Structure 1
Amino acid sequence: MAKKRGEVALQEEIVDEDSWNALRMKQGLIVVDVYQEWCGPCSAVVGLFKRLKTEINDDLLHFAVVKADTVETFELYRGKCEPYFLFFGIRDPMVIARELKEAEIKQKREEEEEVEQELTLAVLKPDVVQSGVAEQIIRELEEKGIQILESQEHLFTTEEAEIFYENVKDQPYFQDLVGFMTSGPSKIIVCAIKGKQGIIDKLRGLIGTSIFEKDSEEMNETIRAKYGTGIIKNAIHASSSKEEATRELAFFYPGYEPPVITVKRTQSIGKGYEETVYGTGKHEIERTVAVLRPQAYELYKDEIVKQIKNAGFTITLEKVIQLTKEQVEEYYKEHMGQPYFGELTTLMSSGPCLALLLAREDAVAKWREMLGPASVSEAKSTVPGSLRAQFTMKSPTKMTSGKSEGINLIHGSANDHEVEKDISVFFPVEKTIAAIKPDAYANRDEIIERIESAGFHVAARKETTLTKDIARKLYENCSGQPFYNDLVNHMVRCYLLITFKYSGQTLFMVLTRSNAISGWRQLMGPTDPNKASDESSESIRAIYGRDILRNAVHGSSNKDEVQRIQNLLFTGIEATEENRKQIIRNL
């Protein structure tokens, strides 16, 4: 009996990483049946495996079944409808070494990209130029890893100084500053970090605060602390942001082209919606949510978005949303009872808002810093360069209390917990059904790569040759169109049997992402490939479509159609909160 049991246990059951690692240590060929928990292993091949094991009668042949749901190594195979058989066994040192080297080269290419180098401009002011200290400051900068790409002496005219320092023209010291900058030559230098980004923040850290202070030993080592004598005669000016650096470089070096450098990619935006939203778990890249309230969206959208990008943020998702007053009251319910609550809810529901999902290092803190204080009056008095101080109401009389300056026009997530809350409100996961038609089936891998690069997650897939009955149900919304019968015949391969050009296979997929339905239709492009080429040259139909019938892909047009086709072709697929983290791992 024991022997028979051993024969029955032909395939070793792998349920976790430990048992998989133990199996991998065995010598020989390992044949693995990867299965999903909901369907179990492929029993149809067990007889074949038994016969092979008996005929070969070799201890170097091993069979196993792996539950993809519980073994992280097989995460790429989760959610698949087809059986997968994987073969492990080659341990030739030369082959392994070559494959590792090729993988390393490929990974390096994928992790690197060529970008324009970040530059900044610094002005060594007349006091340090006249005293001969300017060259000493330049040497100190170079010792700290700052590369000087360009250098020139320049005597500001009054008009030039007023334009260059226009961002502080409202300050009481403005005229004194202009007078000082025109009193003698300054030294203008273009700075970078050799082969790296981040020069703006690094240089600002080295020069110190704009207000002359010596509060600590670290502060005493800054350039302004060592060589400056006051708020105006503070030795050096440096650009404070990418936007300011661009403007100031153009002021002195119009048409200057930054060097191109190779850097590590900070984030691959096309990894899929859930990774885009929740990140990869690495510390470097954070996500935060920005919401332009109705007046900000209507009046200032382009300028705000420009400043966001100049600050180093990537806008990974954006969505225009119209909230009802009830939805706003629910969203801000923790503020209920505050004197501004009614005004805030009225403002937020007065028109469409623009929600942005932003990504960069320290995104939450950086975005809060850019916004400034929640009170507009406080922002104007303490941080006049902040977004909430710059972009304010134009029609205060329309607000409920009339004190519109107290309500800012831009929202930002306050912490990681609020980021997740804002994502669930403004970017909920949606699903859609996509189909790669027989005429484009040969290009399915390229199309899927484009789908995933657009932020979609393929939650499930099914390859099939459609029957006429299923095809009619699939396209029942087109039943009144003159091309309906041709379309059905195309999908079931009637005329394909004559031309022998296509496989007849159709690949159906359940895709998940924020705004999945409209996003997929946008990625597909117009129904007619010729029109798609004119209006959306990068769309799938423009690239892979031939005519209005053979247009490569199909997509559901609304939620009802998604549900109808899902019931027809798939079961048990839901874009729920529970499978969010699962989706992340699959990406």
Structure 2
Amino acid sequence: MPAKKEQIQLQKEILNQEMWDELLSLEGLTVIDVYQKWCGPCAAVLSLFKRLRNEIGDDLLRFAVAEADSIETLERYRGKCEPCFLRYGSGQLVNVVRGVNAPALLKNVERELKQEHKVLEEGVERVVIKDPLLAAFEAEEQQAAQAEELEKKRLEEEARIKEIKELGDAGEVSVRPVSQGTVDTLMHGRQDGPQTEPVPKEVTVVLIKPDAVANGHVDSIIAKIEEHGFEILTTEDKTLTEDEAREFYKQHEEEEHFEVLVTFMASGPSKILVLTRGDTGEGVVSEVRNLLGPKDIEVAKEEAPDSLRAQFGTDKKMNAMHGADSKETAAREMAFLLPNFSVPIVPGTGPPPTIEKTLALIRPSALKDHKDEMLQKIQEAGFEVCLQKMVQLTEDQAKEFYKEQEGTPHFEDLIREMTSGEVLALGLAKESAIQSWREFIGPTTIDEAKEKAPDSLRAQYSIPDTQVNVVHGSDSVDTAEKELGFFFPKQTTLAVIKPDAAGEHKEAIIEKIKEAGFNISLQRDVELNKELASKLYLEHEGKEFYENLIDHMSSGLSMVMVLSREDAVDGWRTLMGPTDPDYAREHAPESLRALLGKDVLQNAVHGSSNPEEAKTRIERLFPDVEVLPGGEVKDSVASISMEQSQVKGEGEEGGEEQTEQPAGEGEEQQAEQPAAESGEQQAEGGEPATETATEGGEQQAEQPPAEGGEKPAEEETQQTQEGETPAADEAQAEQTQEGETPAADEAQAEQTQEGEEQKPAEEEAAPATEETAAEQAPAAEETQQTQEGEEKKEETEQTQDAPAAGGGEEAVATEGGGEGDAKPEGGEEKTEEQTAS
């Protein structure tokens, strides 16, 4: 009993959270014995603490015992029978001692009490720590939580893909890990963007002191640091001058050992490390200090034998390492030692990274033996291969590409190497790709590469007996753009989002197109009729699946787009993936058809096979567009076309209907333009003669009735466009007259003026046209009987004049029209035409 009474008088008993909070609100150094209810406080230290209190007699020193079972803050200390002493400086943890080591306890308490006086009286910064054991335990918990979160996300992604499958819009989509952004984009047409305000990671600075560097401990220390999960952001060797050392340790200038410390720190090179941990780096300062251990080597060896100072230090001064004691100190020391270092930001914060593209060339000698190995290294280094092409350069091409190096000693050897076989040209994308690639391939001189960057591509795959290195890389943004254009000239291609994907996944596909670096020059929602759909798939005519394909393409709205980019044709076909979605899921799982396709017919997207086909079909679907030789798109009425491309109803929008029809029918307007410009029959961009025969024969025979409603004088220049509306009622004829575009009027007026000059050429190009037109006059008169008498007479005269004034124009317009195919079913054809527009 006397012992118990003595204990209570010496140590304040803390039995609940309220008492704990009150204790930590007091100023001074508090030594707390944390105990378990079932075993009680540590009696072995009672006499030691009594002696300390009696000898020191300082009001800032107090002792307490705390029952872990009844205090929430001490929850992590429950169930452990090892004596544990927490020391708090004015409520902040400054040290933890486990086990009973009387000399160490005595020495530490005296030192910490002295430090607490400096903090309270002189404003010295208090060194706050985190219990190393708890820190390790929390790190394990965090890792387990992260693993659980990753597993949860994986399961959610699989569930989302399953949802796509159940919706019936993606067919047999493979269940595979994809990013959350990809799933959100595919499912909901959105992708959450990054935060706009950048948040810097927490980092800390560590110095490996001259004694540890001289003793060869640098590699071992770095290995220990990495074993504990810290990331080394940068390293630098530096020998401090005495002035620099004095400035760096100026907070210790009042201490006795200050000058000795300055001399020691300037005695040889130190190694500077900048460390962080995880995505945010939170808590890295205190965690690193725990890893370093106490400054006093003897104390470190007793209290933290696994700490770095205990393992590599010599004495209190030569204790191997220095570490910042707070975030503020770390920032100050980093600015002093590494003024040019930029602290990385937390992922997901700040503006999105700037992705660059650069050109990479693997020269023939290296390509022949090391292609696969080098490509693997490139991908492992984080570069995305967005363009790829094998090229056999001629001597002139090689000299043109390297003309700026002409006259240098190695120029002839370089040209000889570049023309000795195929070159692999790569378009690489990455954040800061240009600089990253040049660092990855190493210095241009092979000897320098081997000496300064032995792991670089130029050092590893050098060509024997030559100074020509194995890879090329652009050296600036402007050069990269120019060189990419040399090997991957800009192209234009046609892309179609088919009806099976246009409704549900249009926005997601457009997002993927933009991510792949394509520029969408033009886009329109159209409902293709069967005739126009058949012209998209001429190469498949006669195949078993052809009719089903045409039926599908004319079953609903599609989106047609003009895409431009370097190597656009092959790039779009790569993004689409193989035609069969099952094969695509196996061999190109990231492709659009793998993600969204159902079968070979409903495979989400369509694209042109080559630049020539792309040009022809773009000009057919976008009649106001001209594809220039360099792949650029010239759209003379782009603003009008884009506004008028949407599918519209009837009624008040009827005046615009004739302008909209080319967006849906495509070939109609295409036929008009060549007619207005040249009067030649080949208006479809060089369509085969067989197609002209099959499409044109019936159409020409039925064309004049559609022209019957025109007036002979005022409306003469509108003959051709009026002729493209077979079986139209009077209201439609009025709409046609009001809806003519200025471009069409000009073209037709010019045709009328030049009609007599063109007549011989037109008769020679299409001899059958005049005969057909002559036979059409009676049919025109018969059709015109339904109209007023006065108009009937005028229309008859107009029909008789048609072959002489514009026979060639008539033939061309008819060839591309397509509406005249079903004269007996004119009413139905009219409905289909409006729908297609």
**Larger CA Rg, structure 1 vs 2:** 2
Shift of 1:565: 0.8
Q: CA, structure 1 residues 529+187, in 2 after alignment: closer, same or farther (shift >3 Å)?
A: closer
Structure 2 CA distance for aligned equivalents of residues 455 and 288 of structure 1: 13
> What secondary structure does 1:264 align onto?
coil
Structure 1 CA distance for aligned equivalents of residues 560 and 272 of structure 2: 59
- Asked if 1 retains the 8 angstrom alpha-carbon contact of 2:379 and 2:385, the reply is no
Residue identity in the other structure for 2:619: N
Q: Deviations over 1:317-361 (max 9, x none)?
A: 332331313321110122233332222112123223242434334
Correspondence for 2:528 among 466, 471, 478: 466
Structure 1 CA distance for aligned equivalents of residues 389 and 578 of structure 2: 22
Residue identity in the other structure for 1:323: Q
Q: Deviations over 1:566-587 (max 9, x none)?
A: 121124254758789xxxxxxx
Shift of 1:185: 8.2
Structure 2 CA distance for aligned equivalents of residues 215 and 428 of structure 1: 59
Q: Does 2:577 align with 1:516? A: no
Structure 1 CA distance for aligned equivalents of residues 508 and 608 of structure 2: 21
Correspondence for 2:607 among 538, 555, 559: 555
Q: Deviations over 1:180-201 (max 9, x none)?
A: 449998883249999xx9x52x
Q: Does 2:481 align with 1:420? A: yes
Q: Does 2:348 align with 1:263? A: yes
Matching of residues 9-20 of structure 1 within 5 Å:
none
Shift of 1:483: 1.6
- Asked if 2 retains the 8 angstrom alpha-carbon contact of 1:529 and 1:547, the reply is yes
Q: Which has the higher helix share?
A: 2
Structure 1 CA distance for aligned equivalents of residues 246 and 437 of structure 2: 26
Residue identity in the other structure for 1:531: Y
- Asked if 2 retains the 8 angstrom alpha-carbon contact of 1:123 and 1:187, the reply is no
Q: Deviations over 1:31-80 (max 9, x none)?
A: xxxxxxxxxxxxxxxxxxxxxxxxxxxxxxxxxxxxxxxxxxxxxxxxxx
Shift of 1:547: 2.6
Correspondence for 1:189 among 225, 229, 233: 225
- Asked if 2 retains the 8 angstrom alpha-carbon contact of 1:530 and 1:547, the reply is yes
Matching of residues 360-399 of structure 1 within 5 Å:
360-361=431-432, 363-381=433-451, 383-384=453-454, 386-393=456-463, 396=464
Q: CA, structure 1 residues 340+428, in 2 after alignment: closer, same or farther (shift >3 Å)?
A: same
Residue in structure 2 matched with residue 128 of structure 1 by the alignment: 212
Correspondence for 1:482 among 521, 540, 544: 544
Residue in structure 2 matched with residue 110 of structure 1 by the alignment: 194
Q: Deviations over 1:444-499 (max 9, x none)?
A: 22322232233222211122222222222221111131121222233233xxxxxx
Matching of residues 308-387 of structure 1 within 5 Å:
314-315=383-384, 317-325=386-394, 326-349=396-419, 350-361=421-432, 363-381=433-451, 383-384=453-454, 386-387=456-457
- Asked if 1 retains the 8 angstrom alpha-carbon contact of 2:242 and 2:266, the reply is no
> What secondary structure does 2:472 align onto?
strand
Residue in structure 1 matched with residue 336 of structure 2 by the alignment: none
Q: CA, structure 1 residues 187+511, in 2 after alignment: closer, same or farther (shift >3 Å)?
A: closer
CA-atom RMSD in angstroms: 5.0
Residue identity in the other structure for 1:569: L
Structure 2 CA distance for aligned equivalents of residues 112 and 432 of structure 1: 35
Q: Does 2:277 align with 1:208? A: no
> What secondary structure does 2:348 align onto?
strand
Q: Deviations over 1:503-549 (max 9, x none)?
A: x1222111122222222222222222333333333332233333322
Unaligned runs of 5+ in 2: 1-189, 250-260, 276-344, 635-837
Shift of 1:553: 1.9
Structure 2 CA distance for aligned equivalents of residues 414 and 472 of structure 1: 48
Structure 1 CA distance for aligned equivalents of residues 378 and 274 of structure 2: 16
- Asked if 2 retains the 8 angstrom alpha-carbon contact of 1:125 and 1:185, the reply is no
Unaligned runs of 5+ in 1: 1-105, 130-176, 241-259, 269-283, 397-402, 494-503, 581-587
Structure 1 CA distance for aligned equivalents of residues 242 and 541 of structure 2: 78
Matching of residues 493-508 of structure 1 within 5 Å:
493=555, 504-508=556-560
Residue identity in the other structure for 1:347: E
> What secondary structure does 1:542 align onto?
helix
Residue in structure 2 matched with residue 295 of structure 1 by the alignment: 365
Residue in structure 2 matched with residue 236 of structure 1 by the alignment: 271
TM-score normalised according to structure 1 size: 0.51
Q: Percent identity?
A: 34
Structure 2 CA distance for aligned equivalents of residues 447 and 331 of structure 1: 36
Structure 2 CA distance for aligned equivalents of residues 473 and 304 of structure 1: 43
Structure 1 CA distance for aligned equivalents of residues 266 and 368 of structure 2: 44
Task: Give the number of equivalent residue pairs.
Answer: 363
Q: Which has the higher strand share?
A: 1
Shift of 1:551: 2.3
Q: Deviations over 1:231-273 (max 9, x none)?
A: xxx4437699xxxxxxxxxxxxxxxxxxx964336646xxxxx
Structure 2 CA distance for aligned equivalents of residues 446 and 552 of structure 1: 12
TM-score normalised according to structure 2 size: 0.37
- Asked if 2 retains the 8 angstrom alpha-carbon contact of 1:124 and 1:187, the reply is no
Q: CA, structure 1 residues 324+187, in 2 after alignment: closer, same or farther (shift >3 Å)?
A: closer
Shift of 1:423: 2.3
Q: Does 2:531 align with 1:447? A: no
Q: CA, structure 1 residues 468+328, in 2 after alignment: closer, same or farther (shift >3 Å)?
A: same
- Asked if 2 retains the 8 angstrom alpha-carbon contact of 1:289 and 1:358, the reply is no
> What secondary structure does 2:517 align onto?
coil
Structure 2 CA distance for aligned equivalents of residues 293 and 423 of structure 1: 16
Structure 1 CA distance for aligned equivalents of residues 483 and 452 of structure 2: 28
Q: CA, structure 1 residues 220+537, in 2 after alignment: closer, same or farther (shift >3 Å)?
A: same
> What secondary structure does 1:338 align onto?
coil
Shift of 1:440: 2.3
Q: CA, structure 1 residues 383+550, in 2 after alignment: closer, same or farther (shift >3 Å)?
A: closer
Residue identity in the other structure for 1:430: Q
Matching of residues 2-151 of structure 1 within 5 Å:
109-111=193-195, 124=208, 127-128=211-212
Structure 2 CA distance for aligned equivalents of residues 215 and 370 of structure 1: 38
- Asked if 1 retains the 8 angstrom alpha-carbon contact of 2:361 and 2:424, the reply is yes
Shift of 1:112: 7.8
Structure 2 CA distance for aligned equivalents of residues 368 and 327 of structure 1: 23
By relative contact order (CA 8 Å, sep 6+), the higher-ranking structure is 1
Structure 1 CA distance for aligned equivalents of residues 222 and 535 of structure 2: 76
- Of the structure 1 ranges 484-493 and 213-222, higher mean CA displacement relative to structure 2 is found in 213-222
Residue identity in the other structure for 2:515: S
- Of the structure 1 ranges 551-560 and 378-387, higher mean CA displacement relative to structure 2 is found in 378-387
Residue in structure 1 matched with residue 161 of structure 2 by the alignment: none
Residue in structure 1 matched with residue 498 of structure 2 by the alignment: 437
Residue identity in the other structure for 2:600: I
Structure 1 CA distance for aligned equivalents of residues 542 and 562 of structure 2: 27
Structure 2 CA distance for aligned equivalents of residues 113 and 439 of structure 1: 40
Residue in structure 2 matched with residue 528 of structure 1 by the alignment: 580
Shift of 1:374: 2.2
